[in-house]
């Protein structure tokens, strides 16, 4: 009887340990579900080429779906006259702090002219010249950058799109320094 109880305890302990060790799913993978350009493909890179994270906003209503954004990017638009190969970013974060992966890290997408080869694009859904980002949303940005640093084995630089372009992106209400301080 004692031996049986001991086995049950050991099995339970193993189950608890394995459950705790299993990676938590907190990034929703939208890559297989988003529209792509019928003829164009983004160039690819190796992970060791990545040096920085660039933060963006959609500058559009927070209610806009990621599918709608991908449709816009793959049709004729302000970035690509004939449509971009796919959605422009790598990660999207909504106001409820849900995180979505929308491109492979190896994909050189078009989110910050001149910086695309070395950058990962993380985009807040909404217009942050008008809205304040939610605290949970900012925590999610920090979490994504920490996840990338762990995955790539080094600390990536952190910039706002406005550091490279004459625009407010990711919105003047997003403080890049405070994100840097928290990573």
Least separation in angstroms between residue 161's CB and Zn ion is 3
Neighbour count for residue 50 (Cβ, 10 Å): 20
Cα–Cα dist 74/82, whole Å:
8
Give the residue with the Cβ less far from Zn ion, 99 or 169.
169
Compute the chain's Rg from CA coordinates.
Answer: 20
Residues that bind Zn ion (CB under 5 A): 56, 161, 169
Least separation in angstroms between residue 164's CB and Zn ion is 9
Q: Which residue is it, tokens 């796919």?
A: 86
Give the residue with the Cβ less far from Zn ion, 125 or 169.
169
Least separation in angstroms between residue 141's CB and Zn ion is 14
Give the residue with the Cβ less far from Zn ion, 16 or 113.
113
Closest CA to 81 of 115, 37, 127: 37
DSSP three-state, residue 100: strand
Strand order in the sheet with 52-57: 27-29, 99-101, 91-93, 119-124, 52-57, 157-160
Least separation in angstroms between residue 56's CB and Zn ion is 3
Give the residue with the Cβ less far from Zn ion, 92 or 169.
169
């Amino acid at each position: 009887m004692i031996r049986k109880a001991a086995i049950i305890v050991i099995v339970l302990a193993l189950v608890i340990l394995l459950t705790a060790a299993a990676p938590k799913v907190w990034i929703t993978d939208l890559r297989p579900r988003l529209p792509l350009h019928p003829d164009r493909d983004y160039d690819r890179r190796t992970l060791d080429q990545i040096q920085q994270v660039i933060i963006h906003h959609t500058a559009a209503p927070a209610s806009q779906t990621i599918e709608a954004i991908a449709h816009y990017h793959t049709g004729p638009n302000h970035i690509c006259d004939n449509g971009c190969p796919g959605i422009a970013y790598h990660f999207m974060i909504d106001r409820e702090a849900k995180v979505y992966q929308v491109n492979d890290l190896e994909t050189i997408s078009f989110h910050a002219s001149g910086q695309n080869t070395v950058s990962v694009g993380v985009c807040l859904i909404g217009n942050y010249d008008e809205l304040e980002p939610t605290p949970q949303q900012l925590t999610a940005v920090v979490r994504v950058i920490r996840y990338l640093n762990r995955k790539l084995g080094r600390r990536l630089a952190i910039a706002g799109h406005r550091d490279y372009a004459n625009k407010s992106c990711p919105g003047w209400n997003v403080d890049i320094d405070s994100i840097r301080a928290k990573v």
